[in-house]
């Protein structure tokens, strides 16, 4: 072994994890667009992963996002009563906030919990049961066979799930506005404040978070060691690492959006 693995939890371990993740990102991006096209097996693996990330996360995400939409709408309307003479602008503000940030950034956290834990547990068990070594012995690159399908699936289906989640949150918000504050659904469901920049920023966030979840979780899974306890540790670190990555990326993207794609 070339280098010792630092003690888990130490700052050396965090730096090591960061470097590993950056390296994995580079290698994954390089292999995501193969020159000779994808083999049938690779396409099948991709389809399986898309089903797992997309379809199988939907029930959980729909429920979660409905509650999130209801909460945000309720609090926005409640607070706006304090400073605004009427509530006609609340809907448009809610929509804009949802599209620009909240659907992606808040939705990505439960998505990271669901998908990130799954990826790390799956790859981690394969590592500790030496299945990944068996892959290597058969000249199959673990990054190409395991990470790339998960990365592509998370970017594509993560975006789809978050967009659908955004619509669900929007619907729940409209219902709450109508029932709790008597705001007409037609007034509330307003896109008056929305512009192309908001949509672009929102979609960019969805895709980035999806990719980050896949890469951070895959890296933790591949670094798992020490039996079932190691798999558990990898899973924990994948969820925390993904959530943290989402929050840091949100700072970067929101700051960039603030200057490049102005809200108003």
Interface residues toward other proteins, by CB under 8 A? 9, 60, 63-64, 67-68, 70-71, 74-75, 79, 82-84, 93, 97, 100-102, 105, 109-110, 112-114, 117-118, 121-122, 124-125, 128-129, 227-229, 231-233, 235-236, 239-240, 243-244, 247-248, 250-251, 254-255, 258, 262-264
CB of 201 to other proteins, least distance (A): 11
CB of 16 to other proteins, least distance (A): 16
**Closer residue to other proteins (CB): 42 or 197:** 197
Answer whether 224's CB lies under 8 Å from 231's CB.
yes
CB of 254 to other proteins, least distance (A): 5
CB of 163 to other proteins, least distance (A): 19
CB of 14 to other proteins, least distance (A): 9
**Closer residue to other proteins (CB): 30 or 252:** 252
Written as six digits, the tokens of 128 are: 């500790």
In our burial notation (b when 16+ CB lie closer than 10 A, e otherwise), range 111-127 reads: bbbbbbbbbbbbbbbbb
Distance between start and end Cα atoms, the chain: 55
**Closer residue to other proteins (CB): 22 or 247:** 247
CB of 223 to other proteins, least distance (A): 15
Answer whether 57's CB lies under 8 Å from 161's CB.
yes
Residue among 44, 62, 167 nearest 114 (CA): 62
**Closer residue to other proteins (CB): 50 or 70:** 70
**Closer residue to other proteins (CB): 41 or 247:** 247
CB of 243 to other proteins, least distance (A): 6
**Closer residue to other proteins (CB): 27 or 225:** 225
**CA–CA dist 152, 53 (Å, integer):** 10
**CA–CA dist 71, 88 (Å, integer):** 18
**Closer residue to other proteins (CB): 117 or 140:** 117
**CA–CA dist 203, 261 (Å, integer):** 13
């Amino acid at each position: 072994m070339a280098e010792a693995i630092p003690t888990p939890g130490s700052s050396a371990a965090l730096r090591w994890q960061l470097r590993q993740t950056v390296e994995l990102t580079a290698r994954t991006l390089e292999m995501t667009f193969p020159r000779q096209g994808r083999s049938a097996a690779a396409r099948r693996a991709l389809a399986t992963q898309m089903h797992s990330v997309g379809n199988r996360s939907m029930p959980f995400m729909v429920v979660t996002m409905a509650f999130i939409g209801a909460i945000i709408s309720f609090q926005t309307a409640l607070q706006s009563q304090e400073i605004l003479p009427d509530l006609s602008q609340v809907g448009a503000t809610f929509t804009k906030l949802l599209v620009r940030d909240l659907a992606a950034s808040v939705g990505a956290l439960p998505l990271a919990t669901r998908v990130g834990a799954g990826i790390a547990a799956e790859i981690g068990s394969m590592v500790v049961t030496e299945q990944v070594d068996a892959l290597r012995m058969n000249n199959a690159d673990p990054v190409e066979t395991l990470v790339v399908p998960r990365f592509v699936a998370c970017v594509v289906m993560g975006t789809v799930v978050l967009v659908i989640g955004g619509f669900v949150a929007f619907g729940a918000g409209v219902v709450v506005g109508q029932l709790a504050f008597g705001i007409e659904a037609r007034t509330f469901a307003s896109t008056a404040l929305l512009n192309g920049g908001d949509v672009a920023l929102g979609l960019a966030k969805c895709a980035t978070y999806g990719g980050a979840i896949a890469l951070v979780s895959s890296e933790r899974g591949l670094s798992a060691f020490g039996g079932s306890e190691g798999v558990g540790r990898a899973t924990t670190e994948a969820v925390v690492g993904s959530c943290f990555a989402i929050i840091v990326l949100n700072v970067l993207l929101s700051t960039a959006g603030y200057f490049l794609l102005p809200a108003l």
